[in-house]
Amino acid sequence: MLMSVIEEAQSAPAYPELADKRILITGITSDCGIDIARAFADHRTRLVLQFAEASESMQAIVEIAAPTAVETVAFGPIGAETDKIVRFARRAAQAFGGLDAVINLVPLAPIAFESALSMGAIDRLVADRLRAACIFSSIAANRMSVTLTEGLILNVAILATPARGRHQALAAVIKAAVAAMTRLQAEEWANKAIRFNAIVPQTLPIGIEPVLRSEPDMATLALYLASARGESLSGLLFEAEAAQASS
């Protein structure tokens, strides 16, 4: 199933129905999000870009997207506090009068370990990593429902580099939480024609090639899922190996 979807997405022509669609991409960093933003910009969408870090690359990414996107609005880091996340999510959902798709980039590593983590500490770390994506998804889905929009929310769990040791174990826990969150959201909003899917790090045995091998592959899949061809797909998980964005 996964391979056939990816192969069709990679061989499909451009998706003209995406023109003027309103796309929110959250959690962009210098390592991840560039290809996804560029892919949607090239389809003449209206982009709301939220950056996880304030750096020179932020303006560079906006400049890459701006020439082909119909409109581009950019926001810097918004903080980890729930009230700040909620305010931003509402503002983003109203930027172009609503949203048609949301791509949440969720970082999995690195995390600073100073000692062994208790189960409570692990739970808090997982909650911290997923809080923004969960709030973005909830507010965006509610806005889509109110405006009768058949939309997509794609949670992308990011490993910029392969994790090792405790990082790998914690990344696996967060990955499982992303998968569970995505499936629950897909069930919750299915009757509103709002679709939830996720891209998560691979857990394939060594020697087996993952379906998604680079961020351009992820961008191709995101376009497919946001297009008319992907309108029947929800609650699915796609595996990707750790990869950095292309220059």
Separation CA 2–CA 43 (nearest Å): 24
pLDDT given at position 173: 81
Q: Which domains does the chain have, with CATH numbers?
A: 2-12+20-240 (3.40.50.720)
Q: How far apart are CA 241 and CA 226, in angstroms?
A: 22
DSSP state letters, 164-207: -HHHHHHHHHHHHHHHHHHHHHHHHHGGGT-EEEEEEE--PPTT
* Measured distance CA(174)–CA(229) in Å, rounded: 29
Instruction: Please determine, for residue 25, whether its predicted confidence score (pLDDT) is greater than 60.
Output: yes
Contact at 8 Å (CB) between 237 and 200? yes
For residue 247, pLDDT over 60 is answered with no
Judge whether residue 211 has pLDDT over 70: no
Of residues 22, 16, 144, 136, the one with CA closest to residue 71: 22
Closest CA to 145 of 86, 214, 98: 98
Closest CA relative to residue 238, chosen from 170, 185, 178:
178
CB atoms within 10 A of CB 242: 16
Total-model pTM: 0.88
| Single-letter amino acid, residue 110 | P
Alpha-carbon torsion angle 85, 90, 96, 97, nearest 10: 160
What are the C-alpha distances in Å from 132 to residues 25, 30, 42?
Answer: 12, 19, 27
Tens-digit pLDDT profile for residues 137-187:
999 999 999 999 999 999 998 765 555 566 677 777 888 888 899 999 999
- Rounded to an integer, what distance in angstroms lies between the CA atom of residue 13 and that of residue 148? 27
Asked if residue 202 lies in contact with residue 159, where contact means CB atoms within 8 angstroms, the answer is: no
SS3 of 146-173: HCCCCCEEEEEEECCCCCCHHHHHHHHH
Q: Please report the pLDDT score of residue 201 as a whole number.
A: 79
In the predicted model, what is the mean pLDDT of residues 67-92?
Answer: 93
Give residue 112's pLDDT band: very low, low, confident or very high (50, 70, 90). Answer: low
